[in-house]
Structure 1
């Protein structure tokens, strides 16, 4: 078969067992990864041949619900290539709303220090550093494996001199004042139904937050007063339908809501806070 025929057959196999809306794209991206070229080049100028056995193995992994990012080793976030592994959440487009809201809130203000609670792959911190070139940042995560991934991403993007990483719990971070605080905490209820691509391949500690999905916010929100500069802003990701509950918890912690951002699905996904 030619490469276009191989891709068409791969897409057919994926569509038979998965959401057909992404089958063709996944098949193309896997082929491009195997060929070591971009998807655009694959479509416009495909190579003369592709190892069928190797391609079949990639298709089989995707058909078994392994995330595409894990198979190819990276995902795009805020137009940045972010390496991922099973030790970190795969960056999602919904989380880009945090950077959008941060840019809105920090418009016209000096932003020289950024902290990222639960940094994972480092995607939020690194996107923040890309948008605020005068800033230095700190990412904190209790997972040593996640910190290794984040550090590697900082080096690959050439900002290792502006990014530091700390293994530890949010509450263990010494008091300091940051202009911008970013946080995508766990916010899924323990008994929530998730697809196998999430539950089987992504770290549970970054997903689940107690019976009501709010346990992490009860820890995070009271810390913000200690870590925000007087004119600083915190931008926090929330789950669909959690806006009212998280806003109430923030009010009890002495925080003022200053903005919100909806994701492509229309759900409020990012909330901004300042210290009262």
Structure 2
């Protein structure tokens, strides 16, 4: 046993993360300790005076060092919760963000009474598979395809679908957006790379240094992925299909105009919890 208690080790870890400039150091210290010890926050507090084994202290120290280097918490822990489901996260995938739940909410609001119909869903740039999994969870008769350019991301998404019991309803494949797809879908969704190249250096170290660059920016003005996808949408969207994108700050009106030019209007917008227009949605 070390001489440290759980409470003292959490305090030391929080101090280390604070010195490294990590936002919310106490929260992250508790998450790291809880993960290493197999305790939730309530148990962590209740057992605060318990001593920590050398083995557990070493695990906490290694995770804390990773976080102090500004590796995202989702990568440090290896998982992230999204839509009340837990997803495996690696350096090959974007960290699922709460803002992206706005996209799921917007699609489900339009699906409405079709919730129980055998919808076909296409998720372009699926990453961890979180958007497709959330829609399949809420639409019990639906099936779908998730596509990603990264073979490593495809493997993670397929693993997540299997772990969530959705493997029989979701096919995860490697591909270049919808190229090669010869089927029409009732729902087409995407959270593509949209950060302008000029903004990349201003991102937090957790994002800029550790998340996959190709999932963050397409280069240039940040709109290239929307142009590519919208050129393919008429071929894969069934009549009346819902087509929805997550967009970056200041991009909603531009992407909405691009969608309307493709016959997907009128386009609606939905803001995230911060009041930022985060989703644009149209119908074929």
Which TM-score applies when normalising by structure 2? Answer: 0.92
Structure 2 unaligned segments of length 5 or more: list them: none
The answer to whether structure 1 residue 81 and structure 2 residue 83 are counterparts is no
| Equivalent residue number for residue 230 of structure 1 | 239
Q: For residue 226 of structure 2, what is the aligned residue in structure 1?
A: 217
Check whether the contact 1:111–1:180 (CA below 8 A) recurs between aligned residues. Answer: no
Question: Would the aligned equivalents of 1:222 and 1:250 in 2 still touch at CA under 8 Å?
Answer: no
**What is the aligned counterpart of 1:131 among 138, 144, 150?**
138
Give the C-alpha shift of residue 12 in structure 1: 1.9
Change (3 A) 1:238 1:244: same
Q: Indicate the residue corresponding to 2:57 in structure 1.
A: 52
Specify which of 3, 6, 20 is matched with residue 3 of structure 1.
6
CA contact (8 A) 2:119 2:143 kept: yes
TM-superposed CA distance for 1:46, in Å, is: 4.8
* Alignment of structure 1 residues 84-99 onto 2, 5 Å: 84-99=89-104
8 Å CA contact 1:111, 1:179 repeated in 2: no
Q: Does 1:31 align with 2:33?
A: yes
Between the aligned partners of 1:243 and 1:190, the Cα distance in structure 2 is 18
Deviations 1:75-127 (A, max 9, x none): 01111100010111010111000111011110012352111001111011111
Identify the range of structure 1 (26-35 vs 7-16) with the bigger mean alpha-carbon deviation. 7-16
Q: Could you tell me how far 1:54 is from its partner in structure 2?
A: 2.7
Q: Which residue of 1 aligns with 2:184?
A: 177
Q: Is residue 151 of structure 2 the alignment partner of residue 144 of structure 1?
A: yes
Say which SS state the counterpart of residue 121 (structure 1) adopts: coil
- Equivalent in the alignment of 1:162: 169
Which residue of structure 2 aligns with residue 41 of structure 1?
A: 43
Contact 2:178–2:236 (Cα < 8 Å) also in 1: no
Q: Name whichever of 183-192 and 246-255 sits farther off.
A: 246-255
What residue number does 2:274 align with?
A: 265
Which residue among 121, 137, 147 is the counterpart of 1:114?
121
Q: State the alpha-carbon separation in 1 of the partners of residues 85 and 245 from structure 2.
A: 20
- Contact 2:154/2:173 (<8 A) preserved: yes
TM-score, normalised by the number of residues in structure 1: 0.94
Aligned length: 274
Q: Quote the offset at 1:134 in angstroms.
A: 0.7
Q: Greater CA deviation, 169-178 or 120-129?
A: 169-178
Unaligned runs of 5+ in 1: none
Q: CA deviation at 1:205?
A: 0.8
Q: What is the aligned-residue RMSD (CA, Å)?
A: 1.6
Question: Structure 1 residues 128, 77: closer, same or farther in 2, change over 3 A?
Answer: same
Q: Distance in 1 between matches of 2:266 and 2:5?
A: 56
- C-alpha deviation, 1:142, in angstroms: 1.2
